[in-house]
A and B are shown apart, each in its own frame.
Chain A
Amino acid sequence: MNAPAPVKGCRDVPVLKQRGQREVFCGLTGIIWLHRKMQDAFFLVVGSRTCAHLLQSAAGVMIFAEPRFGTAILEEKDLAGLADANTELDREVARLLSRRPDIRQLFLVGSCPSEVIKLDLARAAERLSAMHAPAVRVYNYSGSGIETTFTQGEDACLAAMVPALPVTDARELLLVGALPDVVEDQALALLAAMGIGPVRCLPARRAAALTGVGPNTVFALTQPFLGDTHAALVRRGATHIAAPFPFGEEGTTLWLRAVADAFGVSDAVFEAVTAAPRARARRAVAAHAATLTGKSVFFFPDSQMEPCLARFLTRECGMTALEVGTPYLHTGLLGPDLDLLAEGPVISEGQDVDLQLDRVRSLRPDLTVCGLGLANPLEAEGLTTKWAIELVFTPVHFYEQAGDLAGLFSRPLRRKALLHREAAE
């Protein structure tokens, strides 16, 4: 179904920017998938009871599986004097590390309260790194709501790791972005089949596997929300391979093509490696496109993946995008996706949720992609919704997941049709 690139894409269309109430997660939520990916890391949030409550609400039953994250909850006495807070933190970290000797990387994660009282976690990370070296390396980043939205937490985390990476002169490909292991393995296999290598990943599954970076490093992003990490890698001299993000058959092919070009892979080899999985992906997507084609979709801002997903749904599934909301639009990274997204939808950055709800109610799209705080209320108003968080927690990248990705959007529509069969008769 892939259409040729539109005459005019969305890269330069005016963006609707609104400020007001936002209905989004803060960056702390990133911990929930990052701690699964980094198997010897512990994420210690320095924050309030609200932060702890957020994590347990968002992590659901995962909280009961001995998670490698926790919250050092600030108490009244910590707010009285800051010197005290540092001693307290040192003590809690020492206790934590003695209980979990398998931990190699400790992330001190800043929150709104710790940022507002200007608790210097960067200094604390340096101090603690020295205290617990060489067994444990302590990093710091902020996942606070005042600074980060949802997936930006991963960006802040990875960006904090970049300055500490060792220097290398080797020409290596670096894949940047936390992917489910099964997806990462598929990507590595495709690249290996084209003779591209060595390939490293950031984040790595274990601290010992952390990569080096230098002027000969080239890197490709697998996630659109990695603006700060991109900047940090460029500062280290690495070169970015610009491409659409690997969602859907088309996105994956263009992403691989860009990487292959950077490594001088011939058309014949590229074709030989990608032909079969491309055909599989197209077939898998087609099964769902039958449900999706001709339907309209409206994105509330959530993860910054919205422009890529709108590109996939409009070009490979035949949907019409009405509004593509994103918490933050990094045109530099998303340019290739925006070029492919035909002009038409409103591109909105930021949010005033009540005004946006007014728009969705007047447009009445066939499918609304939104957060869990809005989904049931909108369903009760007769709109069909797809809750957005699943798009971050489910394997959706590259060829073999293209059908699953389309399936996430077709399922609510098929369900609506099933439940309304009686009414239709």
Chain B
Amino acid sequence: MKLTLWTYEGPTHVGAMRVATGMQGLHYVLHAPQGDTYADLLFTMIERRNARPPVTYTTFQARDLGGDTANLFKDACREAYARFQPEAMIVGASCTAELIQDDPGGLAEAIGLPIPVIALDLPSYQRKENFGADETFFQICRALAKPVARTAAISCNLLGATGLGFRHRDDVAEITTLLGQMGVAVNVCAPMGARPSDIARMGAAHFNVLLYPETGEAAARWCEKTHGQPYTRTIPIGVQATRDFLAEVAGLTGLSPRIDETRLRQPWWSASVDSTYLTGKRVFLFGDATHVMAAARIARDEIGFDVVGMGCYNREQARPMRTAAKSYGLEALITDDYLEVEDAIAALAPELILGTQMERHIAKRLGIPCAVISAPVHVQDFPARYSPQMGFEGANVIFDTWIHPLVMGLEEHLLTMFREDFEFHDAAGASHHGGHAQALAPQEVAQPAPLPEPLVAAEPAEASGGDIFASKNGQEAPSAEVIWLSEAERELRKIPFFVRGKAKRNTEKFAADKGLTRISIDTLYEAKAHYAR
């Protein structure tokens, strides 16, 4: 047993639902108790779908457990077929039905429906949502994709896009456009948008584009082995990765990788002097491995951040994740416990967090800017506007999304210049347009009152703003023997709040190293000079 308050991934059958809901003309009959239909609202609310997910639940109740749950399941299959007339059906069990050991595959076969019925075996007590999606898509391909002649023109399949995928809708559109500009047609995009009859003609493509390894890798491997279709390894998130991806496609097809980059603005935006202040900003990355690995490359090589921590919640991708982290001189954090992620972030005290909705909440708690780069996400990350992550427009979107939460460069300089500004100090709250800032300020700033208690005693509150020299858990004991002189204390107070914790720790460490017991203004500025980067 493991006590869990929040999970990054749902159960395996939700992964299967993501495949079924992404497709057309496929129906999923799920042996599940009353209540499991909650998963429908992920699709109708978060993704805002305008139709019910194509899922029939048997919704057995306690009184059914006597023994007719098997018949319940068979009836549900017959009725679902009669009502929805799907081209194919997938059948499986949720966690509870797995325990009662009806055999959905065998039962469905016994009723002899005139369509392919694909049995899913998704171990609910070992695996999670992404596995469920990957395995379901693989089983559908295995059952339906037949050997067929290649298309005359060069074509590919797009693999891995599903229902409830982070920006899958627009990534598919963006990659389809890029490939089209190279002269590559999309044969089938699956699971998203495909019908079972489309799966059957997947073999006609010359190669496969694996968009999301988490949900399409098993199928891509199988297609390579069975249909001789190579698949792309580069995930086209970021400018450099997109160019590498186009080069990889060129290698597979013999076509030219040079395509129109006139709408690609990210490299110039990043090169412009406005962006200089982004240099070396310390960033922490967490999410699914694919998005984190892509984001790390953008962060370091395209925006000039310093990647100080990275990790993922999906163990399936732990190996590539560890390898990638090593190339940044880091050890990957592989965990599905958000408390471990929170500890890691608190210890590292980054200036920007890129993660999932959970990291967004951690960031809010710690007062650190944050942008979302990976599922799981709230409803606001299924936007109405076009916002891919992949390709060149994706690079534009990513630049805007990551930069917005940061304090703008000019703003940062003004904060340093007017650090005792009467309406723009750290007690003024998030917006300096509000009246409350003025109401608070005059007395406080005109006569800076002595601090209520020595800063050393305020240590715990400053922990999240700790410096890069702090011990790993951020709990390094305050150097109790070092005393801040009151003038130095007041000077420290003038430093903008978002760097004050770092300045304080640096100065204390500097003083301790020099064997000083008192910190004066001079000590403060000597330490600043010492640590200047």
Contacts and interface: CB of A to CB of B under 8 A. Distances in A.
Given A113-B95, A354-B79, A375-B44, A75 B1 contact: yes
Interface string A303-339: 0000000000000000000000000000000000000
Contact of A116 (B11, B37, B100, B124): B100
A224 interface: no
A97 B147 CA distance: 59
Nearest to B76: A21
B430 to A, nearest CB: 18
Given A53-B7, A96-B3, A377 B96 contact: no
Interface stretch (B47-55, B212-220, B383-391, B524-532): B47-55
A220 B456 CA distance: 57
B11 A24 contact: no
A48 B61 contact: no
A48 B125 contact: yes
Contacts of B61: 145-147
B9 to A, nearest CB: 8
B256 to A, nearest CB: 43
A52 B64 CA distance: 24
Nearest to B38: A54
A379 B49 CA distance: 11
A144 B6 contact: no
A374 B41 CA distance: 8
Contacts of A48: 11, 95-96, 124-125
A61 B52 CA distance: 24
B262 interface: no
Contacts of A273: none
A146 B5 contact: no
A370 B124 CA distance: 30
A14 interface: no
B52 A374 contact: yes
A26 B34 CA distance: 7
Contacts of A96: 3
A146 B64 CA distance: 9
Contacts of A24: 34-35, 37
Given A48-B125, A79-B125, A96-B3, A53 B11 contact: yes
B123 to A, nearest CB: 8
B48 A50 contact: no
A418 B485 CA distance: 65
A73 B2 contact: yes
The size class of the interface chain A forms with chain B is 35 or more
B10 A50 contact: yes
B33 A26 contact: yes
The winner among B33, B34, B58, B76 for most chain A CB atoms within 10 A is B34
Contact of B50 (A25, A61, A146, A380): A380
Interface in A48-105: 48-50, 52-54, 56-58, 61, 63-64, 67, 69-76, 78-79, 85, 88-89, 91-92, 95-96
A410 interface: no
A373 B60 contact: no
Determine chain A's interface SS by DSSP, over half rule: helix
B45 A22 contact: no
Determine chain B's interface SS by DSSP, over half rule: mixed
B65 interface: yes
Interface string A372-399: 1111110110000000000000000000
Interface in A1-52: 20-28, 44, 46, 48-50, 52
Contacts of A113: 95-96, 99
Interface in B5-42: 5-7, 9-11, 13-14, 33-42
B49 A76 contact: no
A63 B5 contact: yes
Contacts of A70: 3-5
A50 B94 contact: yes
Nearest to A91: B1
A52 B8 CA distance: 11
A149 B59 CA distance: 11
B52 A72 contact: no
A112 interface: yes
A377 B3 contact: no
A184 interface: no
B57 interface: yes
A22 B50 contact: no
A6 to B, nearest CB: 34
Nearest to A117: B99
A228 interface: no
Contact of A28 (B6, B9, B35, B96): B35
A21 B59 contact: yes
A372 B44 contact: yes
Contacts of B123: 76
A372 to B, nearest CB: 4
Contacts of A372: 40-41, 44-45
Contacts of B6: 52, 56, 63-64
Nearest to B10: A53
Contact of B35 (A26, A354, A377): A26
Contacts of A78: 1
Given A54-B38, A146-B62, A71 B33 contact: no
Contacts of A366: none
Contacts of B4: 49, 52, 70-73
A371 interface: yes
A115 interface: yes
**Which 8 A/B pairs are nearest by Cβ-Cβ distance?**
A26-B35, A145-B35, A373-B40, A380-B50, A112-B96, A48-B95, A372-B41, A88-B1
13 contacts: A21-B76, A27-B35, A48-B96, A52-B6, A61-B361, A64-B358, A64-B361, A67-B5, A71-B4, A76-B123, A144-B33, A376-B50, A380-B51
Given A50-B96, A54-B38, 19 more contacts: A22-B34, A22-B57, A23-B37, A25-B35, A26-B34, A49-B95, A52-B7, A63-B5, A63-B6, A64-B361, A73-B2, A73-B3, A112-B35, A112-B96, A115-B62, A144-B62, A145-B96, A146-B65, A372-B44
Interface of A: 20-28, 44, 46, 48-50, 52-54, 56-58, 61, 63-64, 67, 69-76, 78-79, 85, 88-89, 91-92, 95-96, 112-113, 115-117, 144-147, 149, 354, 371-377, 379-380
